[in-house]
Amino acid sequence: MNLKTIDAIAAELQGYDPKSLRASDVGLFLERLVEPVAQVEQVGVFDALQRVLADDIVSPISVPPHDNSAMDGFAFDGAALCADAPLTLTVVGTALAGEPWQGTVGPGEALKIMTGAVMPAGLDTVVPQELASERDGTVTIPANTLARGDNRRKCGEDLMQGIPALRQGQWLGPAALGLIASLGIAEVPVRRRLKVAYFSTGNEILSLGEAPRPGAVYDSNRYTVFGLLTRMGVEVLDMGVVPDAPQALEAAFVEAAQRSDAIITSGGVSVGEADYTKAMMHKLAGTAGGVAFWRIAMRPGRPMAVGRIAAGTPQAPRSAVLFGLPGNPVAVMVTFLAFVRPALLRMMGSQATAVPMLRAHSEEPIRKKAGRTEYQRGIVSSGPDGALRVRTTGNQGSGVLSSMVQANGLIVLGHDQGNVAVGDEVDVMMFDGAI
């Protein structure tokens, strides 16, 4: 596979400026930087959760496999219905789910039927038992109660035999597992799990269990990113905290590149920082395509690095994609959701990569400076009229991690957008399923 270099990708983006990069251009850049993993494996349905389908699944059967009743009630030929008069029919038997009824139902007759039971030939309508009156072996259906064909599930209504039930690139959630099982399929082809290594950098970072010391802070980013990655179903390699020391950083990057498909770091990418992280990223990029350092026109999360770290051997070279994130906790989460998560999903082979966006009315005025994209923590709810509304969590500082716990989404204010007035509609990137 001939991977494009950082310079080649940058040349494809009109107006590319690493010192003032639009947030929208970050996604375009990353689409060109990453490629799906190629390896495919067969797994059982129970092991397919959070995996990405490698090939289409063609339905071997129709679902449902026969016309059946959608209700407990009475099945009959709907041609007998009269709009202005009740209909009385003779009940000739009972059909149970899983036990097809072997008799016949003629004109003026009906069959008592349970939900899921096969509809005998000639019957196309079911009246729910609560809408009918059964007495002395007959059932009476009131006028204007239902139309012909009501409450019947048709053969193949859900899926038809020979038609793709799931497409390549489908991320397999709980509903997809049920669908696969409903087809009688025990194993499915999926892309292998993506391997992602992660570590925090900095001499000021404390791991849990270490005693507090002046100027130091406990590392929250590792645990946040661990949760974000685990939610995606990737294989996580937690490499702890790496101090700002050349040898330690080099060893961490080399090990991460050898053992993973992607590397995520936090800290050490800001302009003017007195550390070795950026220098080590440059050194280890080798011929793998280089590393770009960005100042993104966004808030929070302005500094970010992307590229590749070389690994493997001269005979079998390989590389790991690098995502160097800021150090502030909220900035880490925002840049992960906006940029890293979609890129990782693409590497997993998923066709759907974007976090869902909704439109909601702002409950408060929001100050916004044009010329950058802002991601403000928001709380979305439904108003009395059922319309979605959103308010901020208050303090939007990039170190206020508690605001991410309070929020259920990010209010996304576009690059060219200005102030928001009360009642204005805004975009909201929802957290559900991502955080």
* pLDDT higher than 90, residue 246: no
For residue 361, the model assigns a pLDDT of 97
Q: Which of 288-292, 303-307, 361-365, 366-370 has the lowest mean pLDDT?
A: 288-292
For residue 89, the model assigns a pLDDT of 97
In a domain, 18, yes or no: yes
In a domain, 160, yes or no: no
In the three-class reduction of DSSP (H, G, I as helix; E, B as strand; rest coil), residue 57 is classed as strand
In a domain, 283, yes or no: yes
Arithmetic mean of pLDDT, 329-337: 95
What are the Cα distances from residue 125, in Å, to 66, 80, 107, 150? 14, 10, 13, 5
For residue 317, the model assigns a pLDDT of 77
377 vs 282: which has the higher pLDDT: 377
Same domain, 235 and 257: yes
Last residue in a domain, options 89, 123, 153: 153
CATH of the domain at 380: 2.40.340.10
Arithmetic mean of pLDDT, 157-184: 95
Q: What is the CA radius of gyration of the chain?
A: 29
Same domain, 117 and 197: no
For residue 31, the model assigns a pLDDT of 94
Q: Which of 279-288, 348-357, 378-387, 421-430 has the lowest mean pLDDT?
A: 279-288
For residue 272, the model assigns a pLDDT of 54
Percent of the chain with pLDDT over 70: 97
In a domain, 164, yes or no: no
Rounded Cα gap, residues 51 and 43, in angstroms: 10
Same domain, 79 and 135: yes
**Exposure string (b/e) for 177-186, b if CB count within 10 Å is 16 or more?**
bebbeebebe
For residue 432, the model assigns a pLDDT of 78
Same domain, 108 and 82: yes
For residue 75, the model assigns a pLDDT of 98
343 vs 432: which has the higher pLDDT: 343
Tokens of 352: 């759907």
Domain with 362 in it: 357-430
Rounded Cα gap, residues 46 and 187, in angstroms: 9
For residue 275, the model assigns a pLDDT of 56
Same domain, 409 and 372: yes
For residue 268, the model assigns a pLDDT of 78
- Could you give the number of structural domains in the chain? 4
The per-residue pLDDT of the chain, averaged, comes to 92
Same domain, 295 and 334: yes
Same domain, 102 and 202: no
In a domain, 162, yes or no: no
For residue 177, the model assigns a pLDDT of 97
Q: How confident is the model at residue 354 (pLDDT cuts 50, 70, 90)?
A: confident
Same domain, 109 and 243: no
Give the E-state strand segments of 274-356 in sequence order.
Answer: 291-295, 298-299, 303-312, 317-325
CATH of the domain at 137: 2.170.190.11
Given the structure tokens 């925090």, which residue do they identify?
200
Q: Which of 59-73, 98-112, 304-318 has the lowest mean pLDDT?
A: 304-318
CATH of the domain at 48: 3.90.105.10
* pLDDT higher than 80, residue 276: no
Rounded Cα gap, residues 159 and 65, in angstroms: 9
CATH of the domain at 259: 3.40.980.10
For residue 49, the model assigns a pLDDT of 95
Q: How confident is the model at residue 1 (pLDDT cuts 50, 70, 90)?
A: low
Same domain, 199 and 310: yes
Q: How confident is the model at residue 423 (pLDDT cuts 50, 70, 90)?
A: very high
In the three-class reduction of DSSP (H, G, I as helix; E, B as strand; rest coil), residue 14 is classed as coil
For residue 27, the model assigns a pLDDT of 94
Let me know: does 30 contact 6? Beta carbons within 8 Å. Answer: no
Let me know: does 104 contact 56? Beta carbons within 8 Å. Answer: no
Same domain, 245 and 338: yes
Same domain, 201 and 321: yes
Q: How confident is the model at residue 356 (pLDDT cuts 50, 70, 90)?
A: confident
In a domain, 163, yes or no: no
In a domain, 110, yes or no: yes
- Note the residue count of the chain: 435
Question: Which residues touch 106 (CB under 8 Å, ≥6 apart)?
Answer: none
Same domain, 52 and 174: yes
Arithmetic mean of pLDDT, 87-94: 96
* pLDDT higher than 90, residue 47: yes
For residue 288, the model assigns a pLDDT of 65
For residue 68, the model assigns a pLDDT of 97
Q: Which of 4-18, 36-50, 264-278, 291-305 has the lowest mean pLDDT?
A: 264-278
For residue 397, the model assigns a pLDDT of 84
Give me the residues paired with residue 93 across strands: none
* pLDDT higher than 60, residue 274: no
